Amino acid sequence: MANQRKKRALISVSDKTGLIEFATGLHELGYEIVSTGGTQSAIAKAGIPTLNISEVTGFPEMLEGRVKTLHPKVHGGLLARRDVEEHLQTIAEHGIELIDLVCVNLYPFVATVLKPDVTLEDAIENIDIGGPAMIRSAAKNHLGVIVVVHASDYADILTEIQATEGDVSLTTRRRLAAKAYAHTGQYDASISQWLSARFASDGDDKLVFPQEVAFGYRKAQDCRYGENPHQLAAFYVQNGVTEPCVANAVQIHGKELSFNNFYDLNGALETVKEFSDDDRAAAVIIKHTNPCGAALGDTLAEAFLKARLGDPISAFGGILAVTRPLDVATAEEITGKNTFFEAIIAPSFDEEAIPILTERKKWGVNLRLLKVGDLKGWQAKAGATGMDLKRVVGGMLVQQPDHLVITRDNLKVVTDRQPTEAELDELLFAWKVVRHVKSNAIVFTKNRQVVGVGAGQMNRVRSVRLAVEQAGELAKGAVMASDAFFPFPDGPEAAAAAGITAIIQPGGSVKDADTIEVANKNGIAMVFTGVRHFLH
C-alpha cells in the first residue's frame, strides 16, 4: 500500500547551512534521500546514504550540469496527485516513484552579480533553472509534497514530522508552499532587475521602462509598529544593493525600529550623503521626513551643534545622521541638556562614544545606533539601487532616482547683482538641502547652517513665511533656496523683507520677470538652476 512505502526526499542546495542536520533528521525518520552534485557529496561525507539523481532518472548530469533534474522521473514524482488514481497508475506504468519532500535553494545569482569583476557569462551561468522548476512543481502539489526553501524551517519541519509520525499539517504545507512561490518570485525578480538594468538602453542611450516589471525583496525584520501603533509593519530589503543606505545599515544598540524610524533614518542619511565628499563634517537632523537642521563644521561636534541650533525645538526627538565616525566630543554634545534623539546613523561609532550615548539617563537605553560604513564615493554604487518606487492604491509609480548634481557651471545669474564667491558656495549648500525637503520647499541657510525651513505647504509664499518665522533675525544675510520656481513675486518679496541676500531657484515661471524685478529692487543676487527638485 502507498502508505507503507518508504518516503523519499530530494535535496539539492547551493547554501549548505544546516544541511547535514536536516538530512540526518530525515534519514532517522525513515526517508530515502535523493541528491545531486555537491549536495550529495556533503551528505555522503557525513555518512548518510543517498541516491544520486542519475540513478533515479537513468541519465547522467549533462551540459555542464545545466540538465540533471529536468526529467519526468523527477517532475512526475512531484506533480502526481496522490488522490487521483489515474495519476498513480500512470507513474507506476513508467517506473516513477513519488517524491514526498523537496529541499532546494538556488544558485547564488545575487552574490555572483555583486562581484566587481562579474561578466555577463558568469551571471547567466548562475541563473538556476532546475531548482525553481522543482520548487514550483512541489509547491503546486503541496497537498502531497512538503517543499522547503529556507534553512530556518528545517528544525520545525523535523519536529512536526516526528510528532505526527511522518507528516506535517495542511496548514504547514500551505505555509511552505506560499513561501516557496515567494522565494522563486524574488529570485526571478532579482534576475529580471539585473538584466533590465544591464540591457536598459534601446540603442539610443535612452532609458526604457519594461512592459512588465518584477521587484524582489526579502524581509529584514518586523517593525515595532507601522506609521501608527495600531498598524503592523515590516521592513523589506532589495537584493543586490551595495550603496550605503538604511537597508545595509547595522543596528548596534537600542530597541526595535518602527516604520517611521526607518523612513526618517532614510531621509536623514540621504540628505547627509549630499555632503559626504566635503572636506568639512556634516550633520543633518530629520523630523517627520524633513530636514529641520543641517550644517557643516570643521569638527563633527561643531556641525552637530550648528544643525541643532538651526531649530532646537524641532530637533528634540529627531533623527540624526552624520558623515564622519561619531566621536566622544560629538557624543557629549548630543547627550547634553534638553536633548533627545530617537536614532543616530553614522559611518561608525568610536568605542568610547558608545557608552556616552547609550547611558544617557531616560533615553540612552532606547537610543537606536546604526552604522552604515564609509559614505565617501557612494555615487559610484548608487546604480545598484535601481528605480525609485512610490506606491499608489492598486499600482506603482516608477522613476529614476533624483541624483542630478548642480554645480557652479549650471547656474545662470539673472539679476543685476552678481553673487559673491561666498554666496555661491552658500547657495549650493542650500540647494543640496532643499531637494530633501517636501514640496513646496524653502530653505534659508547662513554660514553653512540651515536657519529656516518651510515644507509641504500648498502654496510657496506660505513656505517662505514659515522659513522667515523660524529664522527670525538669522534671516538677515542668509540665502534662500526654492525647490521649484516662484509662480508669483510674493515669495521673494517676503524673503527680501526678512533680509535674504541671495536666492537660488529653478526659474521657468511666466512671472520670472516680476521675481527678478523684486530681487533687483532689493539688491538680491539670484541664480537659476534650470532644474527643479519636487519631493512628494
| Percent helix / strand / coil, the chain, rounded to 5 | 40, 20, 40
How far apart are alpha carbons 321 and 218 in whole angstroms? 25
For 304, phi then psi, to 5°, come to -65, -50
Encoded amino acid at 476, one letter: K
Side-chain half-sphere exposure of 520, counting CA atoms within 13 A: 10
Residue carrying C-alpha cell 552658500: 426
Encoded amino acid at 477, one letter: G
Residue carrying C-alpha cell 532614510: 266
Angle in degrees, CA 143, 144, 149, rounded to 5: 85
Answer yes or no: are the C-beta atoms of 141 and 81 closer than 8 Å: yes
Stretch (H or E) spanning 33: strand 32-35
Answer yes or no: are the C-beta atoms of 342 and 255 closer than 8 Å: no
For 112, phi then psi, to 5°, come to -70, -50
Q: Which residues of 75-97 are buried (b: 16+ CB within 10 A; e: fewer)?
A: bbbbbbeeeeeebbeebeeeebb
For 16, phi then psi, to 5°, come to -90, 10
Reading the block at residue 193, the C-alpha cell is 532587475
* Residue 140 annotated in active site: yes
How far apart are alpha carbons 302 and 298 in whole angstroms? 7
Which is the catalytic residue, given 140, 179, 381, 511?
140
Which residues sit opposite 371 in a β-bridge? 250, 346
How far apart are alpha carbons 154 and 140 in whole angstroms? 20
Answer yes or no: are the C-beta atoms of 355 and 326 closer than 8 Å: no
Other Cβ atoms within 10 Å of 446 Cβ, number: 23
Angle in degrees, CA 503, 507, 511, rounded to 5: 100
What spatial distance separates the first Cα and last Cα of the chain, rounded to whole Å?
65
Query: Which is nearest to 286 in space by CA: 344, 333, 368, 328?
Result: 344
Stretch (H or E) spanning 396: strand 395-399
Calculate the CA 171 to chain-centre distance.
Answer: 32
Residue carrying C-alpha cell 547609550: 358
Which is the catalytic residue, given 87, 150, 179, 288?
288
Stretch (H or E) spanning 297: strand 290-297
Largest Cα–Cα separation, the chain: 98
Question: Catalytic site residues?
Answer: 140, 288
